[in-house]
Amino acid sequence: MKLYYSPGACSLSPHIILNEAGLSFELIKADTKTKILADGSDYRTINPLGYVPLLELDDGTRLTEGPAIVQYIADLVPAKKLAPPNGTMERTKLQSWLNFTTSEVHKTFSPLFNPTMPEEAKKYFRERLGTRFAHLDKHLASNDHLMGKDFSVADAYLFVVSNWAGRVDVDLSPHANVLAYRKRVGARPAVQAAMKAEGLIK
């Protein structure tokens, strides 16, 4: 398998899950600004939309969209229990957390990275993120992870997008349970390995 990624982007989530799964894969860095790969080719020939992540399977099948990719990986190694079995209520709850993270957290961060976004608009998105993190903080007061006691693919995704807070002046300090959760997830060997491989930590 090949994982097309950009350091610290949402592609870090499937990178973490591939490590958790213990699967072999090749990392290919994609410059999401220039759309040029290290070999000089145009990444848009791989993914016409030019964003990451993209997971290319050994048979040439290409998967996009992080929440779908991490579930696919989890289902390759059911014994690792990175996602509940398909067709169960617990799997639906996992999908609910993945959807919450993608639509309510990830996409609310996105405008804050846009240098042309007016400061008044950025203030609105920071406040919106504040309410989402307050919701998460309440949930994490009585849960070690999003699904309860055990780590899942949803935790990798939330950890990655919450990493962006410091880069765009989103204050997580009012959310002590979120901070404690981030510390727990960040200490996992698979997370440490992925972040080191992407040059995010030493």
User: Would you list the domain boundaries of the chain?
Assistant: 2-81+190-197, 89-188
User: Which pLDDT does position 68 carry in this prediction?
Assistant: 98
Q: What is the mean pLDDT of residues 75-83?
A: 98
How would residue 149 be classed by pLDDT, with cut points 50, 70 and 90? very high
User: Which pLDDT does position 161 carry in this prediction?
Assistant: 98
Return the CATH fold of 2-81+190-197. Answer: Glutaredoxin (3.40.30)
β-sheet with 2-5: strand ranges across: 26-29, 2-5, 54-56, 62-64
Range with the poorest average pLDDT among 30-34, 87-91, 152-156: 30-34
- Per-residue pLDDT tens for 105-129? 999 999 999 999 999 999 999 999 9
- pLDDT-above-70 percentage for the chain: 100
Assign domain 89-188 one CATH number from 3.30.43.10, 3.40.50.720, 3.30.70.270, 1.20.1050.10. 1.20.1050.10
